[in-house]
Amino acid sequence: MEKMSRVSTALGGGGGGAVSGRTMFCHLDAPANAISVCRDASQVVVAGRNIFKIYALEDERFVEKLNLRVGRKPSLNFSCADVMWHQMEENLLATAATNGAVVTWNLGKPSRNKQDQLFTEHKRTVNKVCFHPSEVYMLLSGSQDGFMKCFDLRKKESASTFSGQSESVRDVQFSMKEYFTFAASFENGNVQLWDIRRPDRYERMFTAHNGPVFCCDWHPDDRGWLATGGRDKMVKVWDMSTTRAKEIHCVQTIASVARVKWRPERKWHLATCSMMVDHNIYVWDVRRPFIPFATFEEHKDVTTGIAWRHQHDPYFLLSGSKDSTLYQHMFKDASRPVDKANPEGLCFGLFGDLAFAAKESLISSEANRKPYPGGDRRYPIFFFKKPDLTEQFAHVSSALSVFETGLESGRMDWFSQTARLYLLSGKPFAELCDHNAKVAKELNRPQVSTTWTMVRIMFSDPANPNLSLSAKLGALPLMNSFSMKDMGACPDMGACPDMGACPADRGKEGRSDAAHLEPGTSHISNNDDNEETEGSDGQAEYMFGEAELDDDDLYSVEHDNPAEDQEYTLPQEAFPLRHEILDNPSAPEPLQQDKAESPHVSGGEAEATCLTPIESCSLISATLPLYSAHLPAGFFCPVVRDMLHYYAEQGDVQMAVSVLIVLGERIRKEIDDLTQEHWYTSYIDLLQRFELWNVSNEVIKLSTCGAISCLNQTSTTLHVNCSNCKRPMSNRGWVCDRCHQCASVCAVCHHVVKGLFVWCQGCSHGGHLEHMMHWLKSSPHCPAGCGHLCEYT
């Protein structure tokens, strides 16, 4: 054995200098079981059941240097479960054979067969061999037979035997710092610590994992730290420096952990690979146990051996795999799951609020909490320690905030408010419009409010005394704007009848809106006050919005009906007035024509130019009779149709549907059924999302779409038995197809029940609700005389 020391190797010593290279791989002839690197990082040995070779690591490739598997029919001693290259003696290798042999190899031997020593003391597969880090001749083995043996390579047999008193030994590792100490891991989940001088009994034992502990590794620098990996998919880091082994870190991987290796020069990093399912190699920062720091995803089958190429170089990792490849991984080529990970979460809430989660580094938040250790905030910024990049990886947290966007269009409060307060039926058309206009105004939605008013004007019957347009017109001679006057008129009107009606209407909805009502009504009156004091300013704004909205549509209408324009003056008035407020310097063609025809509207510049008010008044009163007489009912329909489409496109499907329902037959034919249906379903979906079931039901009820109104019938299934023959009624309707009797006959008065029908689920007999209630007051038995003791809940 002496001749072995310090002779130049048969392989002629490789690089030895600074490690360089790239990510590369080579094909092996057979699956690898383990790999080990020589001390100077220039060569790697690959061992497996059918392979035992040494490769030189060159810059660009692996070069096969030596095949240690010699002989025509190699003995089972060549079938390796593990291999280790001595870290001090570069010619010395040890392998663990699957037949229980521990073999050492001397590369300095001149013969082809480099086998040196053969120890056949273990009875079963040897799982692991380990050289002492500083003692040249000391070799340790751990076997499936439950024993560990320490060999002095100068002797022919083992120096001492350690019995784990436990199941199979999966790994043995000499401590890097404690000369006499080694750790052994077992299949029953235990880890034992032994003193090499005391083979009788372990120093310490603790249960590290559920199920087998496949591997362990001492931290190269921290003497007390031991990492263990088990079938329970965990990697645990133990602090062994205290009297009780303390778990200080735990990393959960997605598959059982077959190998664990601390990363050189990186205190917190370790590499793992798995023995099944997962073929990747992971490098973890134990402080961030959730997400791998880096992964190498090259292997196509299970990775069986990993080794850092040089004990002081953290950038090169070698691995062998069942896929018969040997890889050198460069750290810079590793994939970083964190970089791919989405650091932000974003979600639009139902009410227009935003939930936003974003990464925040713990460093910065710590900086907020306490000063830098040893540093002082008074020092100028460049005295601050540059944050350690690994620290940045390790401590990450996220802040989650819910934002209110504050945008009228973004928030959805108005939606549910509006849905609850709108009246869609049960009153004359004009009142509905006025009510809804008021609701919209109250919710600070002037454009919608104005639209309702416009709709009312366009479609209401001027003969309706409620409106008394002409009277009010006369009373307000200075108002040269038609809609302004209406805006003024609408609260007036609403004030008397609607106010009274409001609470009742809301009560009908069964909602607890009473609280809303009080501020709501006061709000209205506030608005009224404002309008009185501020006058036309606010309204001009309203008109501006409306003008913007319908501008194009209006022109097109006028183009479409030039003849009518001449004849009927009302539409002219309605339209140009808007342009007045729009204050459009370049008045388009139709307007010019109007100007010629009816000079009173050409004023354009609103009140300032002050058209002769009398003229305007008289003109309106003069046209009023024409209104009902000449205007075809559908005259405004194209405008309204476009208006509805506009609202729908803006996402305000509520407006589209509400107007659709309120206008009913007036507009229905203008919009194709499919669109209507789409609006209805969208609106109903929204209502249900906002849990406005009553409104949703009302909309379904009021809808004129067949597909929508049948929604209420499809959602509930009723199973009924015939009261006559007591068989289930199979078809729809109330005539039993078995006994051909009407099933809905009242058992008390023998008339067919229309309206509320109540029946006993036990005997299928029943009848008018009030009859049944009356009957059951006097008798618990069924009125049909079947003798059943009826139960009604």
Partner 1 sequence: MVSVINTVDTSHEDMIHDAQMDYYGTRLATCSSDRTVKIFDVRNGGQILVADLRGHEGPVWQVAWAHPMYGNILASCSYDRKVIVWKEENGSWDKMYEYTGHESSVNSVCWGPYDFGLILACGSSDGAISLLTFTGEQQWDVKKISNAHTIGCNAVSWAPAVVPGSLVDQPSGQKPNYVKRFVSGGCDNLVKLWKEEDGQWKEDQKLEAHSDWVRDVGWAPSIGLPTSTIASCSQDGRVFIWTCEDPTGNTWTPKLLHKFADVVWHVSWSITGNILAVSGGDNKVTLWKESMDGQWACISDVSKGQGAVSSITDTQQSEQ
Give the total residue count for the chain.
793
- The token duo for 359 is 């990464």
For residue 749, how many C-alpha atoms fall within 13 Å in the half-sphere facing its CB? 13
| Rounded CA separation 84/456 (Å) | 93
Q: Of the two residues 410 and 428, which places its CB atom closer to partner 1 in the complex? A: 410
Q: Cβ 251 to partner 1, closest distance in Å?
A: 11
Between 220 and 783, CB nearer to partner 1: 220
**DSSP symbol at 728:** B
Which one, 171 or 285, has the nearer CB to partner 1?
A: 285
What are the distances in angstroms from CA 215 to CA 115, 184, 219, 419? Answer: 27, 9, 13, 66
Residues 681 and 657: beta-carbon distance below 8 Å: no
Give, as one character, the DSSP assignment of residue 335.
B
The candidate with the shortest Cα–Cα distance to 168, out of 195, 150, 147, 151, is 147
Q: How far is the CB of 176 from partner 1 (least distance, A)?
A: 24
Q: How far is the CB of 272 from partner 1 (least distance, A)?
A: 13
CB 530 → partner 1: shortest distance, Å?
A: 24
Q: How far is the CB of 90 from partner 1 (least distance, A)?
A: 28
Q: Determine whether 697 is exposed, middle or buried from the number of CB atoms within 10 Å of its CB (0-12, 13-18, 19+).
A: middle
- Minimum CB separation of residue 698 from partner 1 in Å reads 19
Closer residue to partner 1 (CB): 223 or 516? 516
> Which residue from 416, 400, 309, 320 is spatially nearest to 357, judged by alpha carbons?
400
Report the b/e string of 303-312 with b at 16+ CB within 10 A.
Answer: bbbbbbbbee
536 in Cβ contact with 481 (< 8 Å) = yes
Nearer to partner 1, 416 or 449 (CB): 416
First to last CA, the chain: 98
Residues forming a β-bridge with 115 = 105
User: β-strand 281-285 against 269-274: which pairing, if any?
Assistant: antiparallel
- Interatomic CA distance for residues 749 and 201, integer angstroms: 97
Q: Phi, psi (5° rounding) for residue 343?
A: -85, 0
d(CA 91, CA 85): 8
Q: Which amino acid is at 342?
A: N
Taking the least distance from each CB to partner 1, the nearer of 235 and 467 is: 235
Cβ 370 to partner 1 shortest distance, Å: 14
CB of 392 to partner 1, least distance (A): 4
C-beta separation of 578 from 571 below 8 A: no
Secondary structure letter of residue 187 according to DSSP: T
Q: Supply the minimum distance, in Å, between the C-beta of residue 747 and partner 1.
A: 31
Q: How far is the CB of 673 from partner 1 (least distance, A)?
A: 6
CB of 29 to partner 1, least distance (A): 27
- Around 348, how many Cα atoms within 13 Å sit in the side-chain half-sphere? 5
Nearer to partner 1, 682 or 741 (CB): 682
Determine phi and psi for 401, rounding to 5 degrees: -125, 150
State the CB neighbour count (10 A cutoff) for residue 537. Answer: 10
Complex with partner 1: residue 345 or 562, whichever CB lies closer: 345
* Contact call for residues 245 and 204 (beta carbons, < 8 A): yes
User: Rounded to an integer, what distance in angstroms lies between the CA atom of residue 370 and that of residue 377?
Assistant: 10
CB of 721 to partner 1, least distance (A): 21
CB atoms within 10 A of CB 135: 15
Q: Which is nearer to partner 1, 622 or 710 (CB)?
A: 710
Residue 489 vs 705, nearer CB to partner 1: 705
| DSSP 3-state of 254 | coil
Q: Which is nearer to partner 1, 354 or 748 (CB)?
A: 354
Q: Which residue, 239 or 677, is less far from partner 1 as judged by CB?
A: 677
> DSSP secondary structure string, 645-670?
HHHHHTT-HHHHHHHHHHHTHHHHTT
CB of 165 to partner 1, least distance (A): 33
Q: From CA 653, how far away is CA 645, in angstroms rounded?
A: 9
Smallest distance, Å, CB 119 to partner 1?
41
Nearer to partner 1, 615 or 673 (CB): 673
Question: Helix (H, G, I), strand (E, B), or coil: what is residue 502?
Answer: helix
**Measuring CA to CA, which residue among 177, 295, 272, 189 is closest to residue 225?**
177
All residues at 6 or more sequence positions from 74 whose CB lies less than 8 Å from its CB, including other chains: none
Instruction: Between 60 and 344, name the residue whose CB sits nearer to partner 1.
Output: 344
Query: Considering beta carbons, is residue 714 or 778 the nearer one to partner 1?
Result: 714
Angle formed by the axes of helices 482-495 and 536-560, nearest 10°: 120
Nearest to 26 by CA among 59, 64, 52: 64
In the bound state with partner 1, the residue whose beta carbon lies nearer, of 109 and 668, is 668
CB of 284 to partner 1, least distance (A): 12
Strand 147-152 and strand 138-143: pairing?
antiparallel
What is the number of other CB atoms lying within 10 angstroms of the CB of residue 373? 7
CB of 232 to partner 1, least distance (A): 11
